[in-house]
Chains A and B, each alone.
Chain A
Amino acid sequence: MDSQTLSAHRAAATGVRMSVHSSKTLKVTMVTGQDLIAKAGSMIAYDGYVQFDGAPASLRRSAEEMVTGEGGRLMLARGDGDLYLADYGGDILVLHLNGEALSVNGATLLACDASLELAIEPVKGLAKLSGSGLTNLVIKGTGWVALVSRGIPMALDCAERETYVDPDALVAWTTGLEMKARRTIKASALIGRGSGEAFQIGFKGQGFVVVQPSEDTGDRFKIRG
């Protein structure tokens, strides 16, 4: 069998905990004692011995997440080996937190170290906006985080000037940014002449905000609700 083109897609051996294979697959090196929290159903392959459980009780416990839908669909992976995760062909982003905090849109979290602290917090100062929701997942501590973005993402620096973001395209942002909602509905929208851009979230301060080039908030190929 001639597999020259195929062998170019072999997973490279990496020494780090999380790495990205061909921009759409996350490779996690699993070690006993370093558990991983991942989006339920995102496993595509593994080698070695890896076990999957439902979301840890500490996450499942809070009733509020059932209401908000944030963090509700997580699983816990443990064991030894290489674990490959993907989410419907979305682009994978890997971050290493060093005692910092990151606020993510719950649906974009693919995986993170179980040693990180996950908290569901309301977004301050914002009313219910689509995409952003009322609440967000705040990830704190030291460890690796993998996010998924529909299309190649972009990091915008908010230090220079105020940056406005469509809530449907928002992936993550550093905590400590000043946020404010901006409405651009004008009277013309009431007579059917809206611009299609009703709400934006403004960010200002030291930090960055990540956006994706898509406003598709649902799972693209999701069949079940």
Chain B
Amino acid sequence: MHSTLFAHVPVESTGRYTLQNPQLLKTDVTQGSSPVLARQGAMVAFEGQVEFDSQYRNRSWRNVERMTGEGLDLMRCKGNGIVYLANLAQHLHVMEVGRGITVDSSYILAFDGSLGVGIVAVDSAVEVAAAGAYNLELSGSGQVVLMTSGEPLVLEVGPDKNVCVDSDAVIAWSTSLRTQLQAPTSTSGVWRRRGTTGEGWEMHFGGTGHVLVQPSELLPPQGMRNGGVLGQFGMRGNSLGGSNS
């Protein structure tokens, strides 16, 4: 048997997280002291002895998640082996948390268990599609794997740069950035959010850091699991929750 398929054999892994290809993550759970926390149901294959356990969340944390819609059901991957993680063929990005990342919970695939996680309210809390009113803030030293629908764009924000992004397309940004929501529509279109230009809320960033934007203004694909075509366009149910189980 010969095939183009054999160009897709597992790559050599270097660290804890290695991208097998832009859409598939190879995770060596043997490395590192903290467990790997991954979105529930994201495992596509594994080798060796690996256990998957639910990540325990206490009642008050669950209440916060329910109220904010930033629910992220995680599982702990422990053991000795290699786990392959993916979610609906979205593009994956391994990044160091560094000085903190604010990200919508529906775009997280996995992160180190050693990281600190908090739910924060985004300034001028308006329910907007991708960047909801609430986001997750990751801090500490470790790595996080983010997902985007399509290949993303990273914008650098500096003191002399005026960066505005569509709030439906923004995925994550440096925690140190100041955010502000603004609507580009004029008063005549105020009753229709997407007024005349088709552009709704945009997010303005100030300070110094980076912003990650995806080339899609649809809701995260896991929301359309039960939503059919309507879900694809974010019109079915509450797709903001990060559940993928």
Q: Give me the interface of A with B, judged by CB distance under 8 Å.
A: 20, 93-98, 100, 102, 150-157, 160-166, 169, 174, 184, 186, 188-189, 193-197, 200, 209-216, 220-221, 223
Contact = CB atoms under 8 A, between A and B. Distances in A.
B242 to A, nearest CB: 12
B2 A96 contact: yes
A163 B47 contact: yes
A152 B20 CA distance: 9
Interface in B11-47: 20-24, 39-47
Interface in B62-108: 73, 75-76, 84, 86-89
B153 interface: no
Contacts of A221: 229, 232
A19 B87 CA distance: 28
A186 B53 CA distance: 9
Specify which of B20, B52, B87 lies most central, judged by the most chain A CB atoms within 10 Å of its CB: B52
Contacts of A193: 54, 56
Interface-central residue, A150, A157, A196, by most chain B CB under 10 Å: A196
Contacts of A214: 23, 44, 86-89
Given A93-B3, A214-B87, A169 B54 contact: no
B9 A169 contact: no
Given A152-B8, A155-B5, A161-B47, A196 B244 contact: yes
A150 B75 contact: no
Given A20-B4, A161-B47, A188-B54, A150 B41 contact: no
B244 A162 contact: no
B164 to A, nearest CB: 28
27 contacts: A93-B5, A94-B5, A95-B3, A96-B3, A150-B88, A151-B24, A152-B22, A152-B89, A153-B5, A155-B5, A156-B9, A157-B9, A157-B10, A161-B48, A164-B47, A166-B43, A169-B45, A174-B1, A188-B54, A196-B75, A197-B41, A213-B24, A213-B86, A215-B41, A215-B86, A215-B87, A220-B232
A152 B47 contact: no
Contacts of A209: 45
B5 A215 contact: no
B3 to A, nearest CB: 4
A154 B4 contact: no
Interface residues of B, number: 44
Contacts of A213: 21, 23-24, 44, 84, 86-87, 89
A212 B47 contact: no
A188 B21 CA distance: 33
Contact of B52 (A94, A95, A197, A212): A197
Given A154-B10, A184-B52, A95 B89 contact: no
B6 A195 contact: no
Across the A-B interface, the 7 shortest Cβ-Cβ residue pairs: A196-B40, A151-B89, A213-B86, A196-B41, A169-B44, A195-B75, A195-B52
A94 B3 contact: yes
Contacts of B3: 93-96
A196 B73 contact: yes
A148 to B, nearest CB: 12
A221 B228 CA distance: 8
A188 B84 contact: no
A194 B41 CA distance: 10
A216 B1 contact: no
A186 B54 CA distance: 10
Contact of A156 (B47, B54, B225): B47
Given A195-B54, A214-B88, A166 B23 contact: no
Contact of B5 (A95, A151, A194): A95
A154 B21 contact: yes
B188 interface: no
B60 interface: no
Contacts of A166: 43-45
Interface string B143-182: 0000000000000000000000000000000000000000
